[in-house]
């Protein structure tokens, strides 16, 4: 395996500091990786403009590139803006397994394809929003009407 391929894999495996069950590639934060001689250019898209985790992610990426013997050049890519629609099916499943309700899938016009937010613990479709704005802007706090478990919901964005 060449150094560049190994680096690409290592970058894709960097966990998100806020939701470590997902990698920066799962979330769509890692946009593109390009090796230009000794320099490696990486484009990252912030989930939210003021996301404090982005500075940590940037540091993680730079360290990873240096560890592989390259020079990092990390750039912020604002367009197209980040959306939860970029989360893969596998990423949604892993979120659910860790007790976080994944963002609901949407069609091309932004319409929700699944209406209820199901409880990630017992799977019941009857849940109630407790707080629309929870610990981070991307999450809401809900409670399951069936098993009473409180859980976080990664909001559609």
Partner 1 sequence: MSVAAHDGIAVFTLRLADDCLVLSHRLAQWSSRAPTLEEDVALTNIALDLLGQGRSLYALAAGLDGSGRSEDEYAYGRDERQFLNCQLVEQENGDFAQTVARQLLYSTFQQHLWSALEASRDETLAAIAAKALTEVRYHVDHATRWTLRLGDGTVESHERMQAALERLWPYTAELFEDDDVVANGGVEPRLLRAAWEADIDAVLTEATLQRPEPAWAPSGGRRGIHTESFGYMLAEMQHLHRCHPGATW
Min. distance of Cβ 49 from partner 1 in angstroms?
3
Give the phi and the psi of residue 72 in degrees, each rounded to 5: -80, 145
List the one residue from 6, 131, 146, 147 that touches partner 1 (CB under 8 A): 131
125 near partner 1 (CB under 8 A):
no
At its nearest, how many Å lie between partner 1 and the CB of residue 153? Answer: 14
95's CB contacts (< 8 A; 6+ apart) are: 19, 21, 22, 87, 101, 102, 120, 154
Nearest distance in Å: CB 52, partner 1:
7
| Residues 78-97 within binding reach of partner 1 (CB under 8 A) | 78-83
In the chain, which residue ranges form alpha helices assigned H by DSSP?
3-12, 24-27, 53-67, 89-97
**Residues 33-62 interacting with partner 1 (rule: CB under 8 A):** 46, 48-52
Considering only 134, 143, 149, 150, the residue that binds partner 1 (CB under 8 A) is 134
Q: Measured from the CB atom, is 52 or 123 closer to partner 1?
A: 52
Sheet holding 71-76, edge to edge: 30-36, 39-44, 71-76
Judged by CB under 8 A, the number of residues near partner 1 is: 21
CA separation for the pair 97, 94 (Å, rounded): 5
The two structure tokens encoding residue 117: 């937010």
**Between 79 and 128, whose beta carbon lies closer to partner 1?**
79
Nearer to partner 1, 1 or 108 (CB): 108
Element (H, E) at 154: strand 150-154
Token pair, residue 42, equals 């990486």
Query: To the nearest whole angstrom, how small is the minimum distance from the Cβ of residue 86 to partner 1?
Result: 13
Element (H, E) at 40: strand 39-44
In the complex, the residues that contact partner 1 under the rule CB under 8 A are 46, 48-52, 78-83, 131-137, 141, 157
């Amino acid at each position: 395996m060449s150094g560049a391929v190994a680096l690409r894999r290592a970058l894709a495996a960097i966990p998100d500091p806020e939701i470590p069950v997902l990698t920066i590639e799962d979330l769509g934060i890692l946009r593109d990786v390009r090796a230009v001689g000794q320099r490696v250019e990486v484009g990252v898209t912030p989930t939210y403009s003021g996301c404090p985790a982005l500075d940590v992610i940037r540091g993680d990426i730079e360290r990873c590139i240096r560890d592989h013997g390259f020079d990092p050049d990390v750039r912020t890519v604002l367009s197209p803006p980040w959306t939860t629609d970029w989360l893969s099916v596998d990423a949604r499943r892993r979120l659910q397994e860790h007790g976080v309700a994944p963002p609901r899938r949407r069609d091309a016009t932004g319409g929700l394809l699944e209406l209820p937010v199901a409880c990630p613990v017992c799977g019941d479709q009857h849940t109630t929003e407790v707080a629309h704005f929870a610990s981070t802007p991307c999450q809401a706090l809900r409670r399951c009407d069936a098993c009473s478990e409180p859980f976080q919901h990664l909001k559609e964005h």
